[in-house]
Amino acid sequence: MQAIRVHEFGEPEVMKLEEVPELQVGPGQVLVKIQAIGVNPVETYIRSGAYAAALPLPYTPGTDAGGVVEAIGPGVKAVAPGDRVYTSYTVSGAYAEKALCLESQVHSLPPQVTFAQGAGLNVPYSAAYRALFQRAMAVPGEVVLVNGASGGVGVAAVQVARAAGLTVIGTAGTEEGRRLAVAQGAHHVLDHRLEGHLQEAMRLTENRGVDIILEMLANVNLGRDLEALAPGGRVVVIGSRGTVTIDPRLTIGREASVLGMYIWGATEKETRSLHAALGAGLANSTLRPVVGRELPLSEAVKAHHDIMEKRAYGKIVLIP
Ligand code: NAP
């Protein structure tokens, strides 16, 4: 079978499509024939060698895929050959024609959800759900600002928040991205490239401020986020690509909180809980991953360039 292999850390070009040995299922494992693979920014950080949780070389990147169960190992009860599934992490890597997974890493994919959409589920929707409900403890009726609503996590956050009864303000850097945010359920949209876009969020809340900010680029926005929070407001830092200066005093009068979010920090119970919530949202179609672009697996290098260099529109998905 074919898989992308990384033999050294570096630029996207270190990823090579290679012939690798067929995978054999062991006890408690599931072999998935992959139909589509989700590309996430974290895979570029790991590949570059700059990420704290580096993988041992050589490795096959990727955690998120949509596919069909091809074989199961002894003791597996949750799925059977022929089942449609999405993966949440793998044992062997997802940028490949097949992946070995633990039984706990495969989840049912309802028939109305395409394999490409299934590939866009795990990291983005886990991040959105964990940020909102396991970190910010969002409750219906609150106002959430999704600062970066046009990419994988942002689209997921808009859908998850809207379905839960929050008022959603989404931001994007392009007109196309803002239209996408509205189509996915945002009540209001703003342009995060404009100086003072957070003042507009204050106006939309009649100067009360927003209860929650889901922040995709904290190194740019965190200082101003604190000015746009309502009393008791929470900023959840989902993404950050550098440092930022903040005025901590802005948290005092509001009793505001800045919370980190790390999907790999979820306990086993939290992980089970969030995939149960995602399963329910897929079944009733409130969660509908948006696939912005499909590329062949052989173009993984281009996918890594694009996710870091281009404006976002839903998910980039690789097709083996
Ligand atoms: P993505 O699909 O590439 O989307 C990036 C998003 O950031 C787009 O909506 C983009 O909007 C937006 N953005 C760009 N400039 C911005 C600005 N100045 N202010 C606010 N938003 C801005 O990436 P993703 O998969 O959604 O991930 C988003 C971030 O979360 C990444 O940094 C990723 O590494 C991180 N993440 C963290 C975790 C965790 O566990 N902590 C989990 C998943 C993802 P435009 O392109 O429209 O400008």
* Ligand 1 pocket member 311 (CB < 6 A): yes
Query: What pLDDT is attached to residue 127?
Result: 98
Exposed/middle/buried for residue 88 (C-beta within 10 Å: 0-12, 13-18, 19+): buried
How far apart (Å, rounded) are the C-alpha atoms in residues 307 and 119?
A: 15
Partnered with residue 256 across adjacent β-strands are none
Look-up: residue for tokens 């694009």? 306
39-82 pLDDT tens trace? 999 999 999 998 877 789 999 999 999 999 999 999 999 999 99
**Residue to mutate (ligand 1; options 126, 153, 158; most atoms within 8 A of CB):** 153
49 alpha carbon to ligand 1 midpoint, in Å? 20
**Among candidate residues 231, 235, 49, the one with its CA nearest the CA of residue 131:** 235
Question: Could you tell me the pTM of the whole model?
Answer: 0.98
* Ligand 1 pocket member 168 (CB < 6 A): no
How far apart (Å, rounded) are the C-alpha atoms in residues 49 and 14?
A: 11
Q: Is 130 helix (H, G, I), strand (E, B) or coil?
A: helix
How far apart (Å, rounded) are the C-alpha atoms in residues 160 and 81?
A: 31
30 alpha carbon to ligand 1 midpoint, in Å? 31
Residues of the chain within CATH 3.90.180.10 domain(s) are: 2-121+289-319
Instruction: Select the CATH number that applies to the domain covering 2-121+289-319 from these four: 1.10.150.20, 3.50.50.60, 3.90.180.10, 3.40.50.800.
Output: 3.90.180.10
**Residue to mutate (ligand 1; options 132, 216, 222, 291; most atoms within 8 A of CB):** 216
Which atom of ligand 1 is closest in space to residue 315's alpha carbon? 2
Exposed/middle/buried for residue 309 (C-beta within 10 Å: 0-12, 13-18, 19+): exposed
Q: Read out DSSP for 268-312?
A: HHHHHHHHHHHHHHHHTTS----EEEEEEGGGHHHHHHHHHHS--
**Average pLDDT for runs of 10 along the chain of length 320:** 97 98 98 98 95 87 98 98 97 98 97 98 98 98 98 98 98 98 98 94 96 98 97 98 97 98 97 97 97 98 98 97
List the Cα angle 97/21/89 in 5-degree steps: 50
CATH superfamily of 124-264: NAD(P)-binding Rossmann-like Domain (3.40.50.720)
CA-to-CA separations, 319 to 111, 289, 297, 304, 312, in angstroms, rounded: 19, 16, 5, 14, 19
Query: What pLDDT is attached to residue 15?
Result: 98
Q: How much helix, strand and coil, in percent to the nearest 5, is found in the chain?
A: 35, 30, 40
* Ligand 1 pocket member 40 (CB < 6 A): yes
**Among candidate residues 72, 108, 102, 79, the one with its CA nearest the CA of residue 90:** 102
Alpha helix locations (H) across the chain?
41-48, 115-119, 122-129, 152-163, 175-183, 197-204, 218-225, 268-283, 300-309
Which atom of ligand 1 is closest in space to residue 215's alpha carbon? 20
Query: What pLDDT is attached to residue 51?
Result: 83
56 alpha carbon to ligand 1 midpoint, in Å? 26
Query: What pLDDT is attached to residue 129?
Result: 98
272-317 pLDDT tens trace? 999 999 999 999 999 999 999 999 999 999 999 999 999 999 999 9
Which atom of ligand 1 is closest in space to residue 147's alpha carbon? 20
**Could you tell me the two tokens for 8?**
């050294």
* Ligand 1 pocket member 262 (CB < 6 A): yes
Query: What pLDDT is attached to residue 50?
Result: 86
The contacts of residue 176 (CB under 8 Å, 6+ apart) are 150, 311, 313
Residues of the chain within CATH 3.40.50.720 domain(s) are: 124-264
Query: What pLDDT is attached to residue 25?
Result: 97
Q: Is 117 helix (H, G, I), strand (E, B) or coil?
A: helix
Q: What are phi and psi of 198, to 5 degrees?
A: -75, -25
